[in-house]
Amino acid sequence: MFSIQPSTTDTQITRRHSVRAYKSDPVSSELLRHLLEMAAHAPSTTNSQPWKSYVLTGDSLKNLTHAVCTAFDTEPDKHHAEYPYYPDPPLEPYLSRRRKIGQNMYRLLDIAREDREKRRLQQRRNLEFFGAPAGILFTIHRQLPAINLIDYGAFFQTLMLSAKSHALDTCLQAYWSDYHRIIRDILPITPDEVVIAGMAIGYADPAAPVNQLITEREPVSSFATFLN
């Protein structure tokens, strides 16, 4: 049987996972700039390069997280994304997969299903970039078609793999899009831009139980058809 030895790139791909607790060690602006430079080499439709990012560290990070966490605490259920990121009505098998990762995460955090306050506080951690020393918010021009989101997917993956190659970890967060109105009050985002995601980036805290969460992946046979 033909055997394929994993390449260095293969190893980085399989080692990457969403990290939800970070050490306080800073990430230099030079390294963050380099990661974005690498991400910009991702393929894009007709070289449109639709990505735009806002990189936050230091006081800028603290000011934004304080503002959105205040909104989270005082205005529950009043903030929503400009696009749907879950199907309505829910669709299988995607709903079951989402539920399973939630169950596994809360089990690692020792948070019971009925403990709504602890679940609320864990959700709030999203808006603190999970304690990461750097956060990035991403926007796209609202008149661009959905095909350009494919470009963004390639951009995100390239950015996260580049980060991993520099011993950094990441967590891509759609939840930031809910708070676009607060974000617009703080960052120089134009009316033409839609906030689509945020990303925590930093050095993983190896002692945090939540960082043991590794999602299961479906086998190739479940999603690929080979035609000869």
Residue located via tokens 């926007």: 139
| 21-67 pLDDT tens trace | 999 999 999 999 999 999 999 999 999 999 999 999 999 999 999 99
Residue located via tokens 């230091």: 58
Q: pTM for the whole thing?
A: 0.95
Domain containing 33 equals 17-83+127-211
Assigned domain for 179 exists: yes
Split into its structural domains, the chain has a count of 1
Structural element, H or E, at residue 153:
helix 147-165
Assigned domain for 5 exists: no
| 6-15 pLDDT tens trace | 899 999 999 9
- Give pLDDT, residue 85: 86
Residue located via tokens 């990189």: 55
Assigned domain for 10 exists: no
Q: Residue 85 corresponds to which amino acid?
A: Y
| 57-111 pLDDT tens trace | 999 999 999 999 999 999 988 999 999 889 999 999 999 999 999 999 999 999 9
Assigned domain for 195 exists: yes
- Give pLDDT, residue 3: 81
Assigned domain for 55 exists: yes
Assigned domain for 2 exists: no
Cα–Cα dist 19/214, whole Å: 10
CATH of the domain at 38: 3.40.109.10
Assigned domain for 32 exists: yes
| 169-199 pLDDT tens trace | 999 999 999 999 999 999 999 999 999 999 9
Cα–Cα dist 1/3, whole Å: 6
Assigned domain for 207 exists: yes
Give the confidence band of 1 by pLDDT, cuts at 50, 70, 90. Answer: low
